[in-house]
């Protein structure tokens, strides 16, 4: 009775290398997918941080009686708290004391993706992420 149960199985000697071959084929793919997913998540987080920093800088700079330096200070607070490196901020047009109310102020923030990556292998190498916000001056 036991012999009929084992009749359809292959002998163990023929199966001994299959698991190693499957691992050798699948492991590099799984590692690449894992690191790619981590890198993509990091890029999404970086982009969202830039959007938030641009919004907060625009909100501060366009407030009644505020200056461009107020917006830059708020931007620096957010970027420093998160630890984003190599960022730039641009106000268009420049905000001065005589900038009239209702002027559309555009704040653009950029950051290189590769200097803000946690991964050993850089999938986003050479990519610069950018976020812009436009608000009217109050």
pLDDT grade for 28, boundaries at 50, 70 and 90? very high
pLDDT tens, residue by residue, 77-102: 999 999 999 999 999 999 988 889 99
pLDDT tens, residue by residue, 51-69: 999 999 999 999 988 999 9
* Tokens at 90, concatenated: 């641009």
Question: In angstroms, rounded to a whole number, what is the distance separating the alpha carbons of residues 32 and 88?
Answer: 31
* 118 vs 14, more confident: 118
Give the pLDDT score at 16.
67
- Listed in sequence order, the DSSP H helices in 7-82 are 12-15, 18-61, 68-82
Please report how the helices 18-61 and 68-82 are oriented relative to each other, as an axis angle in degrees rounded to 10.
160
Domain spans of the chain, in order of start: 12-136
pTM of the entire predicted model:
0.79
User: Looking at the predicted structure, is the pLDDT value of residue 125 above 60?
Assistant: yes
Report CA-CA distances (Å) from 64 to 20, 52, 80, 122: 68, 20, 25, 43
Give the single-character DSSP code of 116.
G
């Amino acid at each position: 009775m036991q012999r009929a149960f084992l009749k359809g199985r292959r002998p163990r000697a023929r199966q001994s290398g299959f698991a190693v071959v499957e691992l050798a084929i699948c492991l590099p793919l799984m590692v690449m997918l894992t690191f790619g997913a981590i890198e993509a998540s990091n890029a999404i987080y970086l982009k969202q941080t830039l959007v938030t920093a641009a919004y907060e800088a625009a909100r501060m700079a366009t407030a009644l009686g505020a200056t461009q330096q107020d917006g830059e200070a708020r931007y620096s607070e957010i970027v420093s708290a998160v630890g984003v490196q190599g960022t730039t901020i641009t106000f268009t047009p420049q905000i001065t004391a005589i900038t009239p109310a209702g002027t559309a102020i555009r704040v653009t923030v950029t950051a290189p993706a590769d200097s803000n990556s946690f991964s050993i292998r850089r999938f986003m190498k050479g990519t610069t992420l950018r976020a812009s916000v436009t608000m009217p001056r109050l």
